[in-house]
A and B are shown apart, each in its own frame.
Chain A
Amino acid sequence: MAKVVFNIWRTNPSGGEFRAYETDITEGMVVLDAVHQIQAEHANDLAVRWNCKAGKCGSCSAEINGHPKLMCMTRMSDMPEGKPVSIQPMKAFPVIKDLVTDVSVNYRVKKSIKKFKPRSPDAPDGTWRMAQVDIDRVQEFRKCIECFLCQDVCHVLREHALHDKFAGPRHMVYNAALEMHPLDIEDRTGDLKNAHGIGFCNITKCCTTVCPENIHITDNAIIPLKERVADKFYDPLMKLFRIFSK
C-alpha cells in the first residue's frame, strides 16, 4: 500500500483548478478506483462519468498525465512511481463539471451520417448471406465503444475546434463500418468529402494510438475512405473509366 497524490481538475465558478488529493493505492487498482476512493473519502460531489468499469462502455474518458485514456483501464502500477498523477477532463469538449464533459456534438454528427441501407435480401426468407472474410474488416470498426478519446486527441477538434466542419475519427470509423458493410448500398463519399470534411484529417495517427479497442482508425478506416473519396472526386482516370464502363 502506498499513498499517491492525485491532481484532479475541479471546476469552480471562475473556471477551474487542479486540486490535490491523497489516497491509498493497493494492488491492481486502476485510476478510476482511485477517483472513486477520493470521491467517497474526500469529495462526494466530485463529478466523474462512469458505468461499466470494465473498458466496455467508454464513459470514463479523461486525460491522465496528459494522455487521453479510459480511467478504468489505466492501472496505477503503470503510473510513474512517486510522482503525482494528474487527471483532467477531455480538452476537445466543453466541461460540464470536474471530469465530465459535454460530448453531445458526437451524437449530432452521428445522426447526420446516412443510415444503413441494405440491398434486397438474398434468400426468400428475407435473410442475407455474408462471408466472414468480408465482414472481418467491418467488425473491427464495430468494436468501437464510443469513448470519444480519438475525437479528443484529434488536433483538428482539440486545437482548432472544427467540430462543425470535420466529423472526427470516431465518425470516420462509423462511416467506414457502413461504407464497407457488404450489404450496404448507400453512397456516403460525397458527404465524406464535404459535410464530414475528411480532407481535414492529416493522418497524424494520434487517434489510432489512443484507441482503447486498438482499432486501426487511420490505416483501416480513414485512409481507405480517403481513397474512396479520391476514386470519386480526385482521379480523372477513374472518372473516365466510370464513364466508359457505364
Chain B
Amino acid sequence: MSGFGNTSRNDIWWVRPLLVFLGLSSFIVYATWAALQGEHYAIGPYLSPFYSPEIFGSSPHSWFGPKPSWWPMVLPFSPAMLILWAPGGMRFTCYYYRGAYYKSFWADPPACAVSEPRKTYLGENSFPLIMQNIHRYFLYLAVIFVFFLAHDAWKAMWFADPLTGEQTFGVGVGTLVLTLNATLLGGYTFGCHSFRHLIGGFKDRLSKSPVQRKLYNCASCLNRRHMNWAWFSLFGVMFADLYVRLCSMGIWTDWRIF
C-alpha cells in the first residue's frame, strides 16, 4: 500500500497535476526568455507588464533614464530583472500556487490519497519553506504593482500624434489587453489570503467596523475564486507581454478601435 504513485483510486488522478506542471513550466520558460530580451517591450503608449515599472531602461517609459553606468559588465541587463522578482515572489509564496506546485513539481503529495516518493517530510514548519511566511511582504509590493499596471493601462489610452506630439484619447486592442491585465492582476492580488486577513480577517468582530467588513467581504468574494484569478492573471500577463512584444517587433499591428 505504499510506494510512489500507489493508490486505490481508479480515476486518472495524474491529469490535474500534470496540467498544472505544464502550465506553470510554460509560463516560467516564457517569462524567463521574455525578461532576458531587454528589448521590444514597449510600443507607443504600451509597456509590457514584465517591464513595468521601468526603473532604468531605454524606452520612453523609463523613470531614471537608460541602464546605469554602475551596472556590472559581467551581468546581462534587462529592465525586467530589476522588478520581476517582486511579482514572482508574490506568486511563489502565494497560498494557491504553493499547494499547486508542491503537488505537481514535488509530488508532495502527487495527488490526494496517492503515495509519495519520499519518506521524510518537513512541510513549511522549518527552513527553507518556513520562509513562505514572508508572503504578506510580497503582497504589499504586489498591491503597489497593481497600481503601476493600472496606471500603464491609463497611459495606454493616450496616443501621441506622430507629427505634433499632442496626446489624444483613444483605445486600441493593446489598451484593452493592458486594462484586462491590470484587472486580472487586481482580482488576483485583492483576493489574496494574506490581503483578506490583513484587511479584516484578523478581527473576530467585524460587525463593529462596517467599512472593514465590506472590504473583507469583497476580498472573501474574490478569494473564493482565487485559483481562477491566479491562472487567468498568469496567462493574462504573459499574453500582454506577448502582445506588446509582437507589435513592437512589427509582427502584429495594433488595431486602433477609436
A interface vs B, CB < 8 Å?
Answer: 63, 65-68, 80, 83, 86, 88, 91, 131, 133-134, 153, 155-156, 158-160, 162, 165-166, 179-182, 184, 197, 199-206, 209-210, 218-219, 223-224, 226-231, 234-235
Considering the complex, give the chain B residue whose CB is closest to the CB of A218: B99
Beyond A88-B8, A91-B1, A203-B102: 17 further Cβ-contacts under 8 Å?
A65-B11, A66-B10, A68-B113, A131-B207, A158-B113, A199-B124, A199-B125, A201-B124, A204-B109, A210-B112, A219-B226, A224-B193, A226-B133, A227-B136, A227-B194, A227-B197, A230-B133
Interface size on B, residues (CB 8 A): 46
Bound Cα distance from A197 to B130, whole angstroms: 12
Residues of A within 8 A of B99 (CB): 202-205, 218
Q: Are A219's CB and B8's CB within 8 A?
A: no
Instruction: Evaluate contact between A159 and B10: CB separation under 8 angstroms.
Output: no
Q: Which DSSP category, helix, strand, loop or mixed, fits chain A's interface?
A: mixed
Interface 1/0 per residue, B1-43 and A, CB below 8 Å: 1100001111100000000000000000000000000000000
B252 an interface residue at 8 Å Cβ cutoff? Answer: no
Cβ contacts under 8 Å, B91 to chain A: none
Tell me the chain B residues, 83-125 only, with Cβ under 8 Å from chain A. 95, 98-99, 102-103, 108-109, 112-113, 115-116, 119-121, 123-125
How far, in whole Å, are A131 and B108 apart by their CA atoms in the complex? 41
A202 to B147, CA, bound (A): 31
Expressed in whole angstroms, the Cα–Cα distance for A203 and B124 within the complex equals 10
Closest B residue to A87 using CB positions? B8
A-B contact pairs, 25 of them (CB 8 A): A66-B8, A66-B113, A86-B10, A91-B1, A133-B207, A133-B213, A134-B204, A155-B121, A159-B109, A162-B121, A199-B123, A202-B129, A203-B95, A204-B108, A204-B109, A205-B99, A219-B224, A223-B95, A226-B133, A227-B136, A227-B202, A229-B133, A230-B135, A231-B197, A231-B202
A63 touches B123 (CB 8 A): no
Contact B125 A200 (CB under 8 A): yes
- Most-contacted residue by chain B among A68, A179, A218, A227 (CB, 10 A): A227
Set of chain B residues within 8 Å of A218, measured between Cβ atoms = 99
What distance in Å separates the Cβ of B144 from its nearest Cβ neighbour in chain A?
Answer: 16
Q: Are A67 and B123 in contact (CB under 8 A)?
A: no
Query: Is A86's CB under 8 angstroms from B8's CB?
Result: yes
CB-CB under 8 A from B113, the residues of chain A are 63, 66-68, 91, 153, 158, 206
* Assembled-state Cα–Cα distance A165/B133 (Å): 19
The 5 A-B residue pairs with the shortest CB-CB distance, nearest first, are A199-B125, A66-B8, A66-B9, A131-B207, A206-B112
Query: How many whole Å from B155's CB to the nearest CB in chain A?
Result: 32
B223 CB within 8 Å of chain A = yes
Which B residues lie within 8 Å of A159 (CB)?
2, 109, 115-116, 121
Closest to B8 in A: A66
B206 in the interface, Cβ–Cβ < 8 Å?
Answer: yes
Nearest A residue to B121 via CB reads A160
Among A153, A160, A181, the one with the most B-chain Cβ atoms within 10 Å of its Cβ is A160
Chain B residues with CB under 8 Å of A162's CB are 121
Known contacts: A224-B193, A234-B133, A235-B136. The answer to whether A202 contacts B207 by CB under 8 A is no
| CB-CB under 8 A for A133 and B123, given A209-B112, A219-B226, A227-B197 | no
Instruction: From A88, A131, A234, give the contact of B205 (CB < 8 A).
Output: A131
In the assembled complex, how far is the CB of residue B76 from the closest CB belonging to chain A, in whole angstroms?
34
Query: In the complex, A179 Cα to B206 Cα: how many Å?
Result: 14
Residues of B contacting A67 in the complex (Cβ-Cβ under 8 angstroms)? 9, 113
Chain A residues, CB < 8 A from B120: 160
A179, closest chain B residue (CB): B204
Asked if B205 contacts A182 (CB within 8 A), the reply is yes
When C-beta atoms are compared, the residue in chain A nearest to B102 turns out to be A202
For residue A214, give the distance in angstroms from its CB to the closest CB of chain B.
12
B-side contacts of A205, CB under 8 Å: 99
Residues of B within 8 A of A230 (CB): 133, 135-136
Q: What's the minimum C-beta distance from B34 to chain A, rounded to whole angstroms?
A: 29
With the chains together, A209 CA to B11 CA distance in Å? 15
Cβ contacts under 8 Å, B8 to chain A:
63, 65-66, 86, 88
Cβ contact within 8 Å between B193 and A223: yes
